[in-house]
Structure 1
Amino acid sequence: MRALSLWPLLVGHGFAWKHVSEEVLRAALKDNEYTLVAFVLPETEASKELEPEWTEVQKRSKDESIFSLDCLANPDVCQEFDVASYPAIRLYHRDGEMTRYRGERKADLMLSFSKRARKQAPLEADASIVPSLLDDDEIIFLAHIAPGDEAYRDQFKALATKYRDSYTFIVTGPMNGQSALHCFNNINEEEHTTEPLAKIGGLEAFIKRCSGPLIPELTRANEAEYTQARKSLLHFFFSSKSERDKCRAAFKPLAKKYAEFLVFVLNDVNEYPEMLGILGLKDGSETGLSLQNPNTGDVFPFRGSRKITPQVVEQFLNDVIDGNVKAMDNKSKGGHDEL
C-alpha cells in the first residue's frame, strides 16, 4: 500500500511519539481499508499517559495502518477533522465511515476496539460456526431471530450499530423456533439470556446489565446508580489505579459469590476523600474497607489491621452477618439476615 511506502516521512515531536506528517495521514486514509489515528497534543498530561499504550498498540498490531498526529504542529488538519478534545482516537474506513473510540486508553482495549470496529455489525453467522466466535471478544451479544420476526431483528440491528465500538453482535437462526438474545461476558465469565421477546427498551437494559463490570469503580457519574440500588455496597479504597486493578482481579470470585445481594465497588481516595469519614474510616487513609447498606443507613467499617485479602474480606462479611461487627451508628442488634 502507498501509505506504508511513506514511513520515512515520519516526524517526531517529543517523548517517544513518532507522529506522521499530514501527507502520510492523508495517503493512509485514501489507500488503507482501515486507519486507526490518535490526534494528540504532546505536552498535555493525557497525551503523555497515552504514549506508552499507543506505542504498545503499534507494536502488537498485525498491520501498520496505525498513526498519531501532532495537533500542535498541525492545528489546521485537526480542525478540519473536527477534533475538539485531546487525545482523540478514531478508526477511519476507506469508504468515509468513522468510528470514535470512547473507552479507557489501554492497549488491550484499543486493539480490541480496532478489531471489533472492522467487523460487520451485526455479523450474520450460521449456527455451526457460532461456537467458534464466542471467545472472539470480551463481550458478545448473540441474537437468535425467528423467521418473520423483523421487529426483533430491527431492534437488534439498531443496537449493534449504536454499540459496535464496544461489543460484538452476532445474528443466527432461532432457538427452539423462537427469538432470544444471549450475552457472553468473557471478562466476568458469565452468560445471560433474555426472555424470547423483550419489551420495548428491554434489549437496551439487557445490554447495560450484561456488559456492566463485576466490580465497578464508583464515579460522580455512576454513584447514584449504585447508592440507590437495593443491594449493599462493599467499598474498597485505594489511592492508585494499579492497586484498584489488582483488587478487581483478586476479588472477582468473591464478588461473583455474593453478587445476588452485594456489590463490590472500588473507590479512588483522591476522588472521594470525604467518603472515608462517612464510611467510618480514618481521614487521609490510602486504603480501607467498609460495608454500607444504603437501605438502612447501616455502615460497618473494617477495623482489622490485616492485609485486605479475599479470605479476610469473607471473614469480615461473615462476622457482620453473625452480629460480631456492629454498625457504626450502633442501631444493629444481634445477627443480620442481610448484608
Structure 2
Amino acid sequence: MKNTSFLLVMTACLAAGVSAWNHISKAAFREGLDSMAYQLIASEKTDNNIVSFDCSLPSHQAFCKSLDVTSFPSIRLYHRDGRLDRYRGPRKAREIALFLRRAIRPAMFDAPSPELVEHFTLLDDVVIMLHPHPDDWQLEDRFVALANKYRHQYTFVMATPFSKTESAVVCYNNLDDVRHRAEDIESVHGLEDFVKLCAEPLIPELTRRNEERYTSTGKSILHYFASTEKEKENYRTIARPLAKKYAEFLHFTTTDVNEYSELLPSFGLDADSKRGLALQNPNTGDVYPLRKNKNISEDIIETFLEDVTSGRLEPWNKQQSGKGGRGESVNNGHDEL
C-alpha cells in the first residue's frame, strides 16, 4: 500500500463511486482547516470527489508531522476548536460517513416523548437507549460516560422511563433487526458488556483476531467461504433468518478464502474453490462440507443442517473414502449441531 495521507472533505465522503484522489496544496489544506468545513486525514482511495493531501512528498512531511500524521493508513477528523477524532473502522464509504455523522452531533440524544423514541431507534446501525427510573441518577451518569466513550461507534439515547419502579437499557441492532434488553445494569462492566453484545453482528466475519472467540463457545460453526464483499453480504441476507433460528446452537460466519485458503481442504472443499459452505463442530472435530456446487439459498442451507442433525450426513473427515460428499445413512442422529 502506498504510504500517503489524504485530506477528506465531509461532503465528499458521502458520495459514491471509487476512482482516484485529487491532491490539494498545503495552502488549500491550511485554508480548509481554518474554514467551517469538517475535514479528515486519510490514506485509502475511497471516492473520486474526495480531495486529498499527499504526505509522502518530502516538502509535505514536516507539515504532516505537525498534524501528528506519522503512520499509515490513518483517518482523522479535525475540528476547528482543535479537537481531533481518529477513525479506526474499515475503509468503506458508508462506515466513514456514519463516523462523520456521529462526530458532529451530540454524544447522546434526549427523547422525552414516545414519538422521538421511535425516531431514534432507527437513527443508526446500533442504538443504545436508557429508560431511567426517575431517581436512578447514578445509572444516568454511567450511561453518559459510556456514550462519551463509544460516541463514534454507536448512537446513545436518554429516553422516557419504562416504569416508575425500575430502569431499563435496550439496544437496537438495525443491521440484523435484533433487539436486546440488558439483564445486568448494576455491575461495573455490565453496561459495557451489553454494548458489545448488541453490536455483535449476527453473521460476523471470521478473522485471525476473533476466531478463538467463536471456536471456544461450544457451538458449532457454519462457515461460508467467499472471496468478495458482495458474496459475503448476499450470504448474510440469505442466511440471516436461519442465524436467528439456530443462534442457541450455531455460529453463522463468513470466512475469506483469501485469508483462510488452507482451511478449504481440511473442510472437505476443493483447495481452489472461491466459494463453499461447511459445518464445523469444534468439540468433536467433525466437519460437514456441502459438496455439491449449488447456488446458496435459505432452503439449501436448512436442508443441509437437517441432514447433519438427523444423521443422514456423516462427518466428511470420518468417511473411509476420504473424498467427501454425501455420506451413507446412519441410524442415529446428532443431538446437536
Q: Shorter-chain TM-score: which interval?
A: 0.7 to 0.9
Give the alignment partner of residue 39 of structure 2, picking from 11, 36, 41: 36
Deviation at 1:167, TM superposition (A): 0.6
The CA distance in 2 between the partners of 1:333 and 1:208, in whole Å, is: 42
Deviation at 1:68, TM superposition (A): 2.6
Tell me if 1:162 matches 2:162. Answer: no
Partner of 1:12: none
More displaced 10-residue stretch of structure 1: 266-275 or 15-24: 15-24
Could you state the TM-score of these two structures normalised by the residue count of structure 2? 0.84
Q: Percent identity?
A: 43
Partner of 2:3: none
Tell me if 1:69 matches 2:69. Answer: no
Give the alignment partner of residue 102 of structure 1, picking from 72, 83, 88: 88
Deviation at 1:196, TM superposition (A): 6.8
- Unaligned runs of 5+ residues in structure 2 are 1-18, 320-329
Deviation at 1:329, TM superposition (A): 4.0
- The list of structure 1 runs, each at least 4 consecutive aligned residues, that deviate by more than 4 angstroms after superposition, is none
Give the alignment partner of residue 108 of structure 2, picking from 106, 118, 122: 122
Partner of 1:185: 173
The CA distance in 1 between the partners of 2:239 and 2:212, in whole Å, is: 23
Question: Which residue identity does 1:336 align to in structure 2?
Answer: H
Deviation per CA, 1:160-215, whole angstroms, max 9, x where unpaired? 11211111111124321222111011100111111373422111111111111111
**Superposition map of 1:1-339 within 5 A:** 16-32=20-36, 35-40=38-43, 47=44, 50=45, 53-55=46-48, 67-73=51-57, 74-128=60-114, 129-177=116-164, 178-195=166-183, 197-330=185-318, 334-339=332-337
Aligned length: 305
The CA distance in 1 between the partners of 2:182 and 2:215, in whole Å, is: 26
Deviation per CA, 1:108-131, whole angstroms, max 9, x where unpaired? 211111111111112233134221
Q: Are the equivalent residues in 1 in contact too, given 2:20–2:47 (CA < 8 A)?
A: no
Q: Are the equivalent residues in 2 in contact too, given 1:181–1:196 (CA < 8 A)?
A: no
Q: Are the equivalent residues in 1 in contact too, given 2:220–2:250 (CA < 8 A)?
A: yes
Question: Which residue identity does 1:83 align to in structure 2?
Answer: V
Deviation per CA, 1:249-297, whole angstroms, max 9, x where unpaired? 2322222222221111111112112211222222232221111111222
Could you state the TM-score of these two structures normalised by the residue count of structure 1? 0.83
The CA distance in 2 between the partners of 1:232 and 1:254, in whole Å, is: 14
More displaced 10-residue stretch of structure 1: 266-275 or 127-136: 127-136
Question: Which residue identity does 1:283 align to in structure 2?
Answer: A
- Unaligned runs of 5+ residues in structure 1 are 1-14, 41-46, 59-66
The CA distance in 2 between the partners of 1:209 and 1:234, in whole Å, is: 20
Question: Which residue identity does 1:256 align to in structure 2?
Answer: K
The CA distance in 2 between the partners of 1:327 and 1:301, in whole Å, is: 8
User: What secondary structure sits across from 1:267 in the alignment?
Assistant: strand
Deviation at 1:333, TM superposition (A): 6.4
Question: Which residue identity does 2:290 align to in structure 1?
Answer: F
